[in-house]
Amino acid sequence: MKIIVLGAGIIGISTAWHLLELGHEVIVIDRQPNAALETSFANAGQISVSYCEPWANKDAPLKALKWMFSKEAPLLFRPQWPTFGPTAKFGGGWQQWRWGMQFLGQCNDAAFECNVQQIVALGAYSHLALKDIVDATGIDYNRLERGIAHYFTDQHAFDAAGEAALLMQKYGVNRQVLGRDAILKIEPALKSFASHIVGGTYTDSDESGDARVFTQKLAQVCAARGAEILYGHDVLALNMSKNTIKSIAIQAVNTLARGKNKDINGHKNDEFEVKTLIADAFVVACGSYTAPLLRTVGVDVPIYPGKGYSATFKILKPELAPNVSVIDDQAKCAMTRLGDQLRVAGTIEISAYDNSIDSELSQIRCRMLAKRVETVLPGVCDTRSLEEGGSPNYWAGLRPATPTNIPVIGKTKVGKLWVNAGHGTLGWTHGAGSGKALAELIDGKVPEIAQGKAMNSGTEFKFYGF
Ligand SMILES: Cc1cc2nc3c(=O)[nH]c(=O)nc-3n(C[C@H](O)[C@H](O)[C@H](O)COP(=O)(O)OP(=O)(O)OC[C@H]3O[C@@H](n4cnc5c(N)ncnc54)[C@H](O)[C@@H]3O)c2cc1C
């Protein structure tokens, strides 16, 4: 079959890879000049199969309400005004409020446990799929197979972590609860912060690596295997007739594609021309932008952006930098070593479709990350601002979030139209498996994970539309 994948983030490129593996002809379209330049660009780098609890739990509503007025809050709900007309392109405030109500509906113990099981199953399945891709391609992406450690500075929070670990163990996740000394043995880089740490948890099977590097290299491998990758092209429309997608309309959007009459792959490219592409199947993997695109053909998926921030600093003292990816419970951020750099990322803002970092609020949230690195790992990185002579890389991305934290993978009610999106906080972790499963579904197969074979838990993953 000829299959067009819309979106060249980790999800779209993993899907393309697996479709090629099954012998299909693949075209990938993305508006950016390369793969992984939106949400997959600078995430925390964690392959976090074992730290995957959904945001929605029974305590979340009260916490979110309390945090609404703090610019440094880990989870910040910023209500948007419902809008009409062209400004409502992304659903205006209506979609945010609707998403919020759906999220509230998940804030109870029964929904939490049910969602955890699905997420754990997808994580385990995806970890194997990632290893398979690495074995097959030899891609190097600053991978560290050293596990993930989560440290606590508050005794009450640490006590609660014990209960969470028990729940995760029930679903086959080996999350150990450890005292301070054991955590320091696992990650000695935390020594200068040791007096604040009361304990932690550790999962040795988790790992870390650079999602952007992996995705861009995998895209190159896909292209070398014959996939056509059209960067710098915006998807304008899904053209539907008789409840089936017949074609898509695309147009060159960036200077690379427009000005030179060729895109970066050397394909001829007539300026401003709207092109129509036909295929046997279309996969929408446009991250947060999946929901507004699918709404144009009457498909309604509960995906809304959850903005998060990251900072990447040069490591000055490699011998004192962590090798284990860590989660700081107090600051709700993750720190991951990526070669000679340290990435720190975190916080969630349920706000608008806006990934800029120039507002006062964004600046505060970026500075928070630098401050925390300096507190926990003093002098290890160059956290100076540009004005002070440093070279930090601050970034924000829009996590495609669903109220359950379970991605939407499967077939829509519209013929030939498939979806792979909504991976929220775990798209890097779930990318390889989501791509594999969707490719198999399109191919008419039943993925192992739909048969309850992942994680020995018997959990059957529920695919969208099946
Ligand atoms: C701060 C932060 C930290 C994170 N940390 C982690 C982590 O440690 N571990 C983890 O597993 N996950 C993490 N994530 C989540 C992860 O990064 C995302 O879930 C993942 O990148 C989503 O991938 P995607 O392919 O769905 O979306 P994207 O990477 O956004 O890809 C979608 C693509 O679609 C393209 N597109 C959209 N609309 C159109 C259009 N109309 N026409 C053409 N192209 C279009 C975009 O250009 C983009 O390239 C983090 C996210 C953030 C923000």
The series of mean pLDDT values per 10 residues for the chain, 466 residues long, is 98 98 98 97 97 93 83 81 68 84 96 94 96 98 98 96 92 93 98 97 97 98 98 96 97 62 53 87 98 96 96 98 97 97 94 91 92 98 94 97 98 98 98 98 94 71 95
pLDDT of residue 248: 98
pLDDT of residue 334: 98
Q: Which atom of ligand 1 is nearest to the CA of 236?
A: 41
**What SS3 class is residue 363?**
helix
Q: Do 317 and 379 form a contact (C-beta atoms < 8 A)?
A: yes
What gap in Å lies between CA 153 and CA 150, rounded to an integer?
Answer: 10
**CATH match for 46-85+143-208+303-401 among 3.40.50.970, 3.90.550.10, 3.30.9.10, 3.40.50.720:** 3.30.9.10
> How far apart, in Å, do the first and last CA atoms of the chain sit?
21
CATH 3.30.9.10 domain locations along the chain: 46-85+143-208+303-401
> How many whole angstroms from 427 Cα to the centroid of ligand 1?
7
pLDDT of residue 268: 56
| Pocket of ligand 1 contains residue 16 by CB under 6 Å | no
pLDDT of residue 64: 84
pLDDT of residue 70: 76
Please name the amino acid found at residue 198.
V
CATH 3.50.50.60 domain locations along the chain: 2-41+213-302+405-456
Pairing of strands 199-203, 176-178: antiparallel
> How many whole angstroms from 304 Cα to the centroid of ligand 1?
12
Tokens of 319: 């011998």
| Pocket of ligand 1 contains residue 12 by CB under 6 Å | yes
| Torsion of Cα atoms, 62 then 301 then 120 then 369, to 10° | -60
Please name the amino acid found at residue 358.
D
Ligand 1 mutation pick, 40, 148, 405, max ligand atoms within 8 A of CB: 40
> How many whole angstroms from 204 Cα to the centroid of ligand 1?
26
| Pocket of ligand 1 contains residue 96 by CB under 6 Å | no
| Pocket of ligand 1 contains residue 171 by CB under 6 Å | no
For ligand 1, atom 51, the nearest C-alpha belongs to 43
Assign domain 2-41+213-302+405-456 to its CATH superfamily.
FAD/NAD(P)-binding domain (3.50.50.60)
